[in-house]
Structures are given as structure tokens and as C-alpha cells.
Amino acid sequence: MGTPMEGEAAAFDVNASVLKHIAMIKPWFPKRAFICTGEYPAKILLKGSFAARADEAILPIIVDRSSKEIVKWSGNGFEGKNVLGLDAEVDMHFWFEVISYLAKNDAFMTRLKNTSVDKMHEAIIVCSIWEGLGSALLPTLISQFRAWNIDSAALAVLPSKVQPSDAQFNAFSSLGMFASREFAPVLLVERDCLEAYVGVGRKGSMIKGSAVLDYILELMLDKETFVQEILELSRPFKARMFTVLAATGASLKIYGSLENVLKTALVKPLSEFDLSTASLAYVLVRVPSKFRDKFTKGKIELAVADWFEKKANLKSVYASEPLCAEDTSDRIDVVMLVGGFDAAKAFASMEKGVRALKNDAVEGGFIKEEEWQEIVKGLIKD
């Protein structure tokens, strides 16, 4: 038996060891952030896999006008630091109202930083840019992430063609502000194309309408190097904007080859930009693990380059290392991000349609004419 003094020394040593161990433990943070801005995408993603991402090495955050509204949409299953409402008594119908508020009040950015998002390495942003908040936050968040040395990429949902001019004005302004100030890849998806989508998932069940947004983002989030890879492709070619082609849950027993699967992607594009003017393609493929040798990075790049040969004069094709799914199906998923296309004609038509609203905003003192010209210049080249 030891003496009392020996027992006390032993106890002291244990306590000191525990305290030393605690001091050595460094706080753990996810490496990537996933920011969803706007009611439209939030309600889609909350029905899918978005909430489950909080348990992974990803920090998911939903941003909208009201924290209470976000919690209500999620059925109280998504709250705390993952919910970030602007929570301010301020008009948010137009982008310039939100931009003006953020310029005068740093409370929102302070709360965003308190989520530890500034400690992330990368961020993926998804937003509906016809809403005042979403249209303002797309360029604002990309700028803020750059200031925090965070690489980012975004997926922006464009308004339906039947939505009125205020929605088109917000969307045009958002993309123009982004294009004139910052460099980051932005994937453009049109609401009409999104809601008309009909496809199949990996289990053979139907994917209908906007649910495909969750499916595509799931692939991008599963690919840990996605942001790094799309940035490395887009930077040398100065390509900011990409459109999305997707072929989901395609059975090899039915289609026979990757080339035949690629053909289906053109049947249901997620935007209507002129692909013949495209210069870049980034390809993300998910296959059953039993097919990993059949679908190598090199084989995918050659198949995509060959498929595009008569459709566009591509300068570069980059296929990411395929994601492997541990299942017994024969279904593959293909997402192609096509960039470097000429969108000036489409944006020129959009600008013409919102000119009256712009004039009202200038006359009302909400924006300056020179500010608007910078926005236009970002999208429509001289």
C-alpha cells in the first residue's frame, strides 16, 4: 500500500496529464461550407439530404429573411448556427435595398463569421437570384469569402421567363455585380428547365422537377475536390459562368455505353444557353464500384471530348476521378458543367427587358447610372 502522500501525488499526476491533454486538443472544424440562400432552394434542399450534411465534414447554413421562417420550413429539425436569418426590419424586395442595409450594418456578417465559416477552406453557395436577398448575397458572399481566403463556387437559379421584370432585374443585377467585381465559377440553372426536368435516380425511382437540384448538389458535395478542380479549370480560361447538363440514374444495361448516356443530357438541359459557343467542360461521374476500371478518368475525358467534337470547339475537357457507389445497380450519374460560352446575346435581351425598372431606380436615387453601367459591362461585352 502506498502512503497518503503517494496517493495524492498519483492523483495529481493523473489530473495534470488530463489537463495537458485537453490543452493539446485543437478545435475541430469542417473544411467546407454549404450556403443555401433564398426560400426557393431552401425548401427543395430541406426535403433532400441537406440537413444530414451537418453530421459530416461540411458546415451547412441556410440564409433567408427570417430565422423563424427557416426553422418552420425545416420542421424544427434544422436550427442553431445552421440557421441565419437577416432578421431586420428592412425592405428586401430589390437587391439594392439589401446591399444598402449590409453596407451600413455589420451584424449579419458578424453572425455569419460566428458560425466559424471563416475557418473553412472552401464554400459552395446555392441561391435563387430573383429574390432581393439572394440576388444581393451572391456577389456579397463571394467577395466576403475571398477576403477570408476561402475558395468558392456557386449555383444560381435564374427566374422563370414568365416571372415579371422585378425578378429579371434582380437576377441580371446580381450576375452583373458578380461578373464585374469577382472571379469564381457560377453554375447557371434556369427555373423553367429545372422544374421541367424528368429523370431517374440510382434506385430507379423517378426524379421529377426541382428535386434534381438536390441530386446534383449531392454529387458536388460528395466530391471533396470539386471547388478546387472547377477553379483550376476556369481560372486559366477566365470562364466565370457554366451551364449544367445532367444524366441521372442511367442504366448501362439499357444505354450500353457512356456515349449513349451523354446523348440524354442534351434532351433535358438545365439552361438554354448556346452550347455551340462553349469552350470548357468539367465532368463529374458516379458509378457502381464494380465499374471503376471501366470508367477511368482518362476514358471519360476521351468519351466527352469525342461527344462534343461536332457540338462545340472545346479548349479543355476535365473529368474528375469518378465517385464510386457501393451498390449492386448498373446505374451511373453524369453531370457536365459547360463553360466559356457566349451569353452576351441572352443577357442583352434581359437588360432590355429591365431597363424601365432600372430607370425608376436611378430616378429614385436607389442606384447611380454609372453603377448600372458597371453591372451591364460585366455581362455584355462592348
pLDDT on residue 382: 46
Q: Is 210 helix (H, G, I), strand (E, B) or coil?
A: coil
C-alpha cell at 27: 478545435
With b for 16 or more beta-carbon neighbours within 10 A and e for fewer, the 217-237 pattern comes to bbbbbebeebbebbbebbeee
Q: What is the pLDDT of residues 273-313, one digit of tens each?
A: 888 899 999 999 999 988 888 899 999 999 999 999 888 88
Using the predicted structure, report yes or no on whether residue 10 has a pLDDT greater than 80.
Answer: no
Q: What is the pLDDT of residues 188-224, one digit of tens each?
A: 999 999 999 999 988 888 999 999 999 999 999 999 9
Higher pLDDT, residue 207 or 13: 207
- The domain limits of the chain are 345-379
Residue 65 pLDDT grade (very low, low, confident, very high; cuts 50, 70, 90): very high
C-alpha cell at 79: 436550427
C-alpha cell at 297: 478518368
C-alpha cell at 377: 459591362
